[in-house]
A = this chain, B = another copy of it.
Amino acid sequence: MGDFNTESWKTIAARKKAEQIAKLPKEWLITPPAEDVLNVMRHSCGLLSVKELEITGVRDTVVLLEKLAKGEWSAVEVTSAFYKRAIIAHQVTNCLTEIFIDKALAWAASLDKKFKETGKPVGPLHGLPISLKDQICIEGMDTVMGYVSWINKPAKHNAVLVDVLLAAGAVPFVRTNVPQTLMFPETFNVVFGRTTNPYNRSLTPGGSSGGEGALIALGGSVLGVGSDIGGSVRIPAGMCGIYGLRPSYNRIPYQGAMNSSLGQECISSVLGPLSASLSGLRVFTQAVLDGEPWLYDPVCVRKPWDESEYKLKKHGHGEKMCFGIMWDDGVVKPHPPVHRALKMAKAALLAAGHTVIDWVPPVSHSVLRAPAMEIFYADGGENFYDDCAPTGEPLLKSMAPDAPPAEQLDMPFGAKPMNKGGTVPEPLKPLSAYELWKVQWKLRDLRKQYLDGWMATKEKTGTGRPIDGLVTPVAPYAAPPLGKYTYSYYTSFCNTLDYPASTFPVTFVDPALDAPQPPHTFRYPEDEIAYNLYTSPDVYKDAPVNLQLVGQKLEDEAVIGMTEVVVTALQAHKGSS
């Protein structure tokens, strides 16, 4: 049971991993596809029954909930089917952490019992299996979150969100993999290992909620919960071709979940849904808010689900809206497939009767990013070191599988070199509290400038309103090769500003349409690094391409509503073109 004084971190981590493997039911083990089979999306293991394929074939959360609410399928049936498929997904992408089949089935059975007694569903999420990122504590269970020193420390309480979901009738059923520190847009840690992208296992599934992305894309879950402080919901959703939502600060209860950089409250991490269907984002958000989380989380915003905002009352009721399109953030130029996706969105929106205008950030994103990085690493990364120190686990500097050992695995026990490696950008020094306040104050001013710039578009939209929403890339690329995802400010600017944002699938990389372009004048080193990642579309074979829709602070409902408008327009336009 992990004695940190005498055992090496490798021993402790290996035992935890072995315990996980032991929890995979023998009868659910598959013959894994060969390592060089990159796309496992259509891999057939032959293990799922017709009924299980029927159940897990339902990708739309609302449809699944209807079947459950009518009693057509029981909670145990649905949970069992998704559990089996999740375990299969795990065997091809390594997406899971905690496995607790008995506990999940007991919850499901209790729901079925109540349903039998009352004839009605327990709540709006009755019987729905929900996967949870490896931060969201369940009583009695480890929350490893990628740190060896967190092994064998079972949670004393459920996270508030877990209680709210249980009360709504949901069945938390697996926990999913993350990167050490949570501050990487990829998914690797020394306990549970690396998660890969099911569309192409040489590519990253994104991160930090990468386990969720891979699991949901593979049909092992229709709805999961991740966290997002710089894109950690939207990046894996985007890389894995599913839907995701970064809600505004403190809308979804974080209380009782674990996190990095605890007490950093200026740019807050938020919890948010990833889903196989757009309906999942709405259903989750509404159900959680209907659970009045502010009664249990002391910083939650008391703002019930607002149906009129979802129906876009403040946005012309969804008619003749005007969207901004950010073709390029001015720092890193998007790759051809991403540019094509933006053109598809523009054409679809115009065809649906909306207008679009080009969005040039009112504050340069390189300027906006600077204080955000200073705030993220104001402790000089010390909290990361503190969580590595008890076992001597190395603080990872890179997510690359081929990173030199010094960058991955060989920091001596107890060494605590401030600002050396890990996710901490080298030039950032630990700040004093007063210095931190000054950076936070500077950021406030930039937030004001950005807001004013958004509001000033009123003169250009022709709707009498500022732009209703902003359509942007999720990343400058489709899922890049493992270890190569380095620029996340296409998502992160929303966290800096606290703008809610969704991501939704648009297309796939297509070598015929997405030829590499000649080099442009590189604005920043990151720009050149990203350019050089697209020498051949073949590297990105089968990779999905998502886009992002951004709204104003606390317009979570409207962002969901506008995403429906954009997705509907894309589907209609695809059909017609």
Q: Which residues of A contact B (CB under 8 A)?
A: 255, 261-266, 294-299, 301-303, 378-380, 382-383, 430-442, 444, 447-448, 450-452, 455, 497-498, 552-555
Contact = CB atoms under 8 A, between A and B. Distances in A.
Copies of this protein in the complex: 2
B437 A298 contact: no
Contacts of A378: 433-434, 437
27 contacts: A262-B438, A263-B436, A263-B440, A263-B441, A263-B444, A264-B437, A264-B440, A295-B451, A296-B452, A298-B444, A298-B447, A298-B498, A299-B498, A301-B301, A301-B303, A301-B554, A302-B303, A302-B552, A302-B555, A303-B303, A378-B433, A378-B434, A379-B432, A379-B434, A383-B434, A430-B434, A436-B436
A440 B265 contact: yes
Contacts of A380: 434
Given A298-B447, A379-B433, 9 more contacts: A263-B441, A263-B444, A296-B451, A296-B455, A297-B448, A301-B554, A302-B553, A380-B434, A383-B434
Nearest to A437: B263
A451 B296 CA distance: 7
Nearest to A304: B306
Given A303-B303, A441-B263, A434 B298 contact: no
A430 to B, nearest CB: 6
Nearest to A383: B434
A552 B293 CA distance: 13
Contacts of A265: 265-266, 440
A266 B438 CA distance: 14
A432 B437 CA distance: 11
B447 A299 contact: yes
B433 A435 contact: yes
A554 B302 contact: yes
Contacts of A383: 434, 437
Contacts of A266: 265
Contacts of A436: 263, 433, 436
Nearest to A295: B455
A264 B433 CA distance: 9
A262 B294 contact: no
A438 B263 contact: yes
A422 to B, nearest CB: 15
Nearest to A261: B437
Contacts of A442: 263
A284 B451 CA distance: 24
A232 B426 CA distance: 42
Contacts of A450: 298
Contacts of A382: 434
Contacts of A431: 432-433
Closest 9 CB pairs of A and B: A263-B437, A263-B441, A379-B434, A298-B447, A378-B433, A302-B554, A263-B440, A433-B436, A431-B433
A374 to B, nearest CB: 9
Q: Max chain B CB contacts within 10 Å: which of A379, A431, A452, A552?
A: A379
B554 A294 contact: yes
Given A378-B433, A437-B264, A448 B497 contact: no
Nearest to A378: B433
A438 B436 CA distance: 14
Given A379-B432, A434-B383, A439 B301 contact: no
A455 B379 CA distance: 35
A499 to B, nearest CB: 10
A344 to B, nearest CB: 31
Nearest to A377: B433
Contact of A430 (B296, B301, B432): B432
Contacts of A303: 301-303, 554
A548 to B, nearest CB: 20
Contact of A497 (B297, B298, B430): B298
Given A379-B437, A430-B432, A434-B383, A448 B298 contact: yes
Given A430-B434, A441-B262, A298 B255 contact: no
A447 B452 CA distance: 34
A552 B294 CA distance: 9
Contacts of A552: 294, 302
A440 B437 CA distance: 13
Contacts of A299: 444, 447, 498, 553
A254 to B, nearest CB: 10
A359 B452 CA distance: 45
Nearest to A380: B434
Contacts of A438: 262-263
Given A303-B303, A433-B433, A437-B383, A298 B261 contact: no
Given A383-B434, A432-B430, A433-B379, A448 B263 contact: no
